[in-house]
Structure formats: C-alpha cells, structure tokens
Amino acid sequence: MSAGTSPGPAAPVHGRARAACAHPGTPLAAELPGLDACVHCGFCLPACPTYLALEDENDSPRGRLVLMRALADGAVALDDAAVGTHLDRCLGCRGCETACPSGVPYGRLLEATRATMAGARPRPLVARAMLAVFARPSVLALAMAVARAWRGTGLPSVLARLPGRIGLAHAMLASTAPVSLRPRGGAASAVAAGPATGGLPTGAAPRREPVALLEGCVMHGLLGHVNRATSRVLAHNGHVIVAAPAQRCCGALHAHAGDREQARALARSNIAAFEACGAALVAVNSAGCGAMMKEYGHLLADDPAWRDRATALAARVRDVSELLAAAGPRGGAPVAVRVAVDHPCHLQHAQRVVREPAAVLTAIPALEATPLPDADQCCGSAGIFNLLEPGVALAVLAPKLAQVEAAGAPLVATGNPGCLLHIGGGLARRGAAVRAVHPVMLLDESYREQYSPSGGGPS
C-alpha cells in the first residue's frame, strides 16, 4: 500500500476489522488504534538510529510494531526475552513519528507496550534503582549532592577513560561542570565585547506572562547554572519568574521505562504544584521533560479527577526556546564564536519545536550557528537508556560525535540535559576540544557581556 492511501491513526487497516487485544484492560490494549495505523511501508526505517546502527529489522520501528502486534495478538508472551530485548533497545527518540506518513503514534505505543510488559518482565535492577531515586526528592537531592561533590574532586574526568558503563557515567558527570564559552586551551577569547545591537535597555522589555520554571532533576542537581541562566534570560525578555516549590521530577524517565503509575503520580504532583504557583506558563529548558509535560493530558486521560487539570497544565507548558522566539528575543552583545547546533529528539520529534532554537541564537550578533548534517538524528542518550544499554547508546553516538568534530566549531549546542551529558561525555572521552552547551547559555553570555563588558563565566 502506498503512503498516499494510508488510513488515519484510528482507522482499520486494509479494511479488516481491528483485532481485540489478548490483554484487555492494559495500556497496550488502549493504544491498539495507533498500532492498527501502521501500513508497513518502511518509510521510518532510515530515520531510526538503532536500525542504522544494528541493521536488524527487529530493531527498527516497523519491526518493533510487528512485535507489539504479536504481543497484542497473544502470539508471543509478555515475558518473551527476545521481544523484550528489541523493545529495550529502542531509544524512544520518536524520529520514526516524524518520518511516518500514517501518523503512527509510536512513542505512545512504546510506552504502553513497556508498561504492559513490565508486569510480566521486571525491569533490570539498575533501572529500578535509578527510577526509585528520581521518584524520591530527598534521596534524589542526596544523590545529586554526592555527585556534585564527586565532580568537584576532578576524578570523574580521569575515570571517564575507563571502559563501559563506569567510564561513560563518569564522563557524563564531568561534562556537567559549567562550561567556559571560550575554546578549550585556546588563546583567543570567543567572546568579544561590543555595543548592544537590536535590543532594549535593561528593564525596558515589554511585560510578558509570568512563568514558573520546571527545575528538573538533572538540571537542578547538576546543571544549576543553566537553570539560573534560563531565569535571567527570561526575565531580561520581560517574564516575571514565579517559584513553584512543590514541583517534582516530570515523570519522563518512568513513563519511558514503562513505570506508568509512578509517572502518573509525579504528573499529579506537578499539576498541583504549577496550579498553586499562579504562573500563566511553565517554562522548560529540558526537551525531554517538556515533551512529557505536554503529554500529561494523555497520561491521565482515564483519570476523571485529573484529566481536565492535566490537559490544562499541558497547554501552559513551553520550551524556553518557544518563549524566547515569541519574545523576539532581545538582542545582546556580540559573541564571536562558531557553534554546531544539534536538535534534541524530544524537541524536534515529540514537541515539533524546530525553528525556535535557531531563532534564539540569531539574537546574538557575531555568533555563527551551523546545524549538524544529521541534527534530527538521536545522539543515543534517551534518559537512562545510555546507562542501561551502553553498547547501543555508544554505537548511536559515534556518528554524531564524528559530525560534531567535522563541523570544526568549539561548541555544540543542544537544549536537553541528556544530550548535553551524552554528547559532552562522548567528546571528553575522545579528547575532543569541543564542549557541549545549552543554547540559553549563549544568549545569557551575550546579555551579560552587554551589561558587563568584562563578561563572566556561568554562575
């Protein structure tokens, strides 16, 4: 069947009646209409990083959808190890959704399938431990404090050279240290002082909606300088920053891993927290978290007490680049540096926010931003995926790192903590003189340079 004759997501395929699910009442059963929408055209295969890396149809979107169908039909058991392995290897990057002409909601299907299988096939111990930490604020705060202290010793940079999961974890931790926006080891400053262009004086920005910032888990714990820069930049563009102290982890890690009930509990906490703060909008500087919060309505669709509140909150969520692009944003001082730009999957494919990150960088005079050739391809991070499936994660990362180095820029910008850690850690392990930076840090540097000619590092 050609793409042009494909049905919509909820229609039967090839005119046949939709088969009942062998596991009624499960998340997979609820998502069957989406599964029926696949016409097996294969257009998604070239967009799939695990298919490109592993060259196995079972590790492609089409192959995984066939496996989901086999599970739904009862042709294979929910605890089937081989099927579980192929679904475990999926990054959840949703590049296949963008490529699919039939509108197959692959991300929802993956999460529903993992949630359905979770009852019969326990998650690995490492995954359970990590998800438990992220669901408990006091334990998470302690873990992050220990990680920061360990990072402060400088040893993670040394241990990053170890092979496997240990080395990767230390490389990622080392990469979370605040980045100087000057080239590593370079004699020349990448930041040039100069007059402001195209901007308004401090305090003269038009007043915009009050926003509450989702602080996030990794962002708050290890990348606090990015959160502080985000607040400064939004305030400089006219937004009043409102505190939402009762907020929690967004639940994305849990939803992606199939722990749907924990994800729903975290979503309810965040809905209440952001309702109580009174802000008109919720600003998110983590693409994965933003994608999750924008889907709270779907996550709680079968909960009558929370469904409408979840939908209302989801409609108030904005990626920071969306807010800044809508604001203009205000211009800053020149930052004469070349930047390779990568697009986080959960910004481009899940939120369909494509144009805004580049629009933000155009507010910085003298900055030369160039998208990576395959900027729409996943880097292999995918939340905790890189620690659970390090072999696949590093295989997916390799072409991304090669493209970053080939770009010849001292910085690579990406608006998601997972991507910052995975790409930044990978570059450090290769000894590359390229640093990963959140785009908002560049705009913050431009503003700070504008009002303090001596500039300054992140704080």
Q: What residues from 21 to 50 belong to the interface with ligand SF4 (CB under 6 A)?
A: 38-44, 47-50
Out of 90, 117, 212, 341, the only residue in the binding site for ligand SF4 (CB under 6 A) is 90
CB of 183 within 8 A of CB of 410? yes
Query: Least distance to ligand SF4 from the beta carbon of 52, Å?
Result: 9
Which range of residues in 88-96, 113-121, 280-288, 420-428 is near ligand SF4 by CB under 6 A?
A: 88-96
CB under 6 A: which stretch of 61-69, 112-120, 160-168, 295-303 binds ligand SF4? 61-69
**Would you give the DSSP letter of residue 217?**
S
As a whole number of angstroms, the distance between CA 108 and CA 164 comes to 30
CB of 267 to ligand SF4, least distance (A): 21
If you write DSSP's letter for every residue of 243-264 in order, what string do you get? --TT----SHHHHHHT-HHHHH
Phi-psi region of 360 (alpha: psi -120 to 50; beta: other; left: phi over 0): alpha
CB 393 within 8 A of CB 385: yes
Cβ nearer to ligand SF4, comparing 47 with 169: 47
DSSP one-letter code for 346: I
Residue 447 CB, nearest approach to ligand SF4 (Å): 36
Residue 104 interacts with ligand SF4 (CB under 6 A)?
A: yes
| Complex with ligand SF4: residue 3 or 120, whichever CB lies closer | 3
CB 54 within 8 A of CB 86: no
Q: Does 61 bind ligand SF4 (CB under 6 A)?
A: yes
Per CB under 6 A, the list member of 34, 92, 331, 383 interacting with ligand SF4 is 92
Site for ligand SF4 contains 102 (CB under 6 A): yes
CB nearer ligand SF4, residue 100 or residue 284: 100
CB of 304 to ligand SF4, least distance (A): 31
386 Cβ partners below 8 Å, 6+ apart? Answer: 168, 172, 380, 393, 394, 397, 418, 422
**385: contact with ligand SF4 by CB under 6 A:** no
CB-wise, 65 or 335, nearer to ligand SF4? 65
Residue from 53, 54, 91, 205 in contact with ligand SF4 (CB under 6 A)? 91
Q: How far is CA 371 from CA 234, 323, 342, 355, 374, in A?
A: 24, 21, 6, 12, 8
Radius of gyration of the chain, Cα coordinates, nearest whole angstrom: 22
Q: Which is nearer to ligand SF4, 67 or 372 (CB)?
A: 67
- Binders of ligand SF4 among 204-243, rule CB under 6 A? none
Contact assessment for residue 314 and residue 297, using Cβ atoms and an 8 Å cutoff: yes
Please give the Cα distance from 93 to 346 (Å, whole number). 7
Q: Which CB, 196 or 353, lies closer to ligand SF4? A: 353
Among 32, 53, 67, 93, binds ligand SF4 (CB under 6 A): 93
Based on the shown chain and the rule CB under 6 A, indicate whether residue 447 belongs to the binding site for ligand SF4.
no
Hey, which residues does 282 pair with through a beta bridge?
212, 317
Residue 142, H or E segment: helix 137-152
Residues at the contact surface with ligand SF4, assessed by CB under 6 A: 38-44, 47-50, 61-62, 64-65, 90-96, 99-100, 102, 104, 106, 378
